[in-house]
Homo-oligomer: A and B are copies of this chain.
Amino acid sequence: MNFNLKNLPKREKKPRSKGITMVIDKGSSIQQCKNLIESSSEYFDVIKFGWTTSNFMNNLKKKIKLFKDADINVYFGGTLFEAFAIRSQIDDYISILKEYDLNLAEVSDGSISIPHKKKCEYIEKLSKHVTVFSEIGSKDEKKIIPPYKWIRQMKAELNAGSKKVIGEARESGSVGLFRSSGEVRQGLVEEILTEIPTEKIIWEAPLKAQQVWFVKLLGPNVNLGNISGNEVISLETIRVGLRGDTFNDFL
C-alpha cells in the first residue's frame, strides 16, 4: 500500500491459501491482460477464462504465460469441461490441459445433468493430472439445490480430490448462492459453514453488495470469485475496511 494507515486488519500476502481473489476474464486482449497485471497483480491469485471463452481467444498460450509469469494461476471455466464431457471427449480435454500447460482445472455440472457419482469420478480422474476446483450449483435459476445437498456434494467432491469447492453465481450474480435478485441465500451459506471450512470454499460474488456481505461475515481473508478485472482494487478496499460499505467494520 502507498500510505501508512494505522490499524488496518491483517490481509494475507501472496502466495496465499486463504483470502484468494479469483478474477473472471471473458476475452481480453494481450494489452488488456498487461493492464490488469500492471495495476492489480498483487491483489488477485487466480484468473478464470470464463465458461468457454478460451475456445475463442487469440494468443491463448501467450495470455496464459503472461499471467503465470505474474504469479497468477490460470484455469478454464467449468462450462468448457462440461462441453467436452457431454461430447465424451474428456481425454481430449486432458490433452488440452497439457498442451496449454495448465496445472488447474474446474469440474462442474452447471449446464449438464450427471449423476453426482460420475462428477466425482471426473474429479478423481482430472486430479491425477492437475489441481481441481469443483463447482456446486446450477446455472439454471429454477434448479434450487437444498443446503443439505450442497454440503453432501461439497464433502464428496473434496474427498474425490478437489482442492477447493466453488459456490456458483454466474457472471451476473443471480443463481446458485444467490436469488435471482442477487440477494444472498444467507441460510444456505450459514448452513454450509457449519460443516465445511471456509478456507476450502471460493464464493463467487460478482456484485459489490455480495462481496460486502461475505467480507462482513467472514472477514478480509474470505475467498471470493468471479470478480471483474476492473473491480479487483475495489474489492481490496472492501476487504480491509477502506470503502464506505465496510469502513466501520474493522475499526
Tell me the A residues contacting B by CB distance below 8 Å.
1-7, 26-32, 34-36, 38-40, 43, 51-60, 79-80, 82-84, 86-87, 89, 92, 96, 110-112, 139-140, 170, 172, 208, 230-234, 236-237, 242-245, 247-248, 251
Question: Which of B43, B55, B111 is A2 in contact with, Cβ under 8 Å?
Answer: B55
- Listed by A's residue number, 26 A-B pairs whose Cβ atoms lie within 8 Å are A2-B55, A3-B92, A26-B230, A26-B231, A26-B234, A27-B39, A27-B40, A29-B34, A29-B36, A29-B38, A29-B39, A38-B58, A51-B242, A52-B237, A52-B242, A52-B243, A55-B237, A79-B243, A79-B247, A80-B242, A82-B247, A110-B244, A111-B244, A112-B247, A140-B244, A170-B244
Chain B residues with CB under 8 A of A26: 230-231, 233-234
Copies of this chain present in the complex amount to 3
Chain B residues with CB under 8 A of A243: 51-52, 79
Chain B residues with CB under 8 A of A236: 56
Contact B27 A232 (CB under 8 A): yes
In the complex the two chains form, what is the Cα distance from A52 to B55 in whole Å? Answer: 35
Chain B residues with CB under 8 A of A244: 51, 79, 110-111, 139-140, 170
In the complex the two chains form, what is the Cα distance from A29 to B31 in whole Å? Answer: 11
9 nearest A-B residue pairs (beta carbon): A27-B233, A139-B244, A29-B35, A52-B242, A111-B247, A29-B39, A29-B38, A111-B244, A56-B233
Contact A234 B53 (CB under 8 A): yes
In the complex the two chains form, what is the Cα distance from A247 to B236 in whole Å? Answer: 34
Centre residue among A111, A233, A234 by max chain B CB count within 10 A? A233
